[in-house]
A and B are shown apart, each in its own frame.
Chain A
Amino acid sequence: DQQVKQNSPSLSVQEGRISILNCDYTNSMFDYFLWYKKYPAEGPTFLISISSIKDKNEDGRFTVFLNKSAKHLSLHIVPSQPGDSAVYFCAASESAGNNRKLIWGLGTSLAVNP
Chain B
Amino acid sequence: SQTIHQWPATLVQPVGSPLSLECTVEGTSNPNLYWYRQAAGRGLQLLFYSVGIGQISSEVPQNLSASRPQDRQFILSSKKLLLSDSGFYLCAWRGREWRGEQFFGPGTRLTVL
Residues of A within 8 A of B7 (CB): none
CB–CB B107/A102 < 8 A: no
Q: Which residues of B contact A43 (CB under 8 A)?
A: 90, 92, 104-107
- What sequence of 0s and 1s flags, for each residue 89-113 of chain B, a beta carbon within 8 Å of any chain A beta carbon? 0101010100111111111010000
In B31-78, the 8 Å CB interface with A consists of 32, 42-44, 46, 49, 51, 57
Whether the Cβ atoms of A44 and B90 lie closer than 8 Å is yes
Category for how many chain A residues contact B: 20 to 34
Q: Closest chain A residue to B36 by CB distance?
A: A104
Partner of B109, one of A41, A45, A99: A41
Given known contacts A32-B99, A34-B100, A43-B90, A100 and B105 CB-to-CB distance under 8 angstroms: no
Tell me the A residues contacting B by CB distance below 8 Å.
32, 34, 41-46, 49, 51, 89, 91, 93, 98-102, 104-107
Having A41-B109, A100-B32, A102-B46, one finds 8 other A-B pairs with CB under 8 Å, namely A34-B100, A42-B107, A44-B104, A93-B99, A93-B100, A99-B49, A100-B94, A102-B100
The 10 closest A-B pairs by CB, nearest first: A43-B104, A106-B43, A93-B100, A32-B100, A104-B44, A32-B99, A43-B107, A104-B43, A44-B104, A46-B101
29 pairs, CB–CB < 8 Å, chain A vs chain B: A32-B99, A34-B100, A41-B88, A41-B109, A43-B90, A43-B92, A43-B105, A43-B106, A43-B107, A44-B44, A44-B90, A45-B104, A46-B102, A49-B99, A49-B100, A49-B101, A91-B100, A93-B100, A98-B32, A98-B51, A99-B32, A99-B49, A100-B94, A100-B99, A100-B100, A102-B102, A104-B43, A105-B43, A106-B42
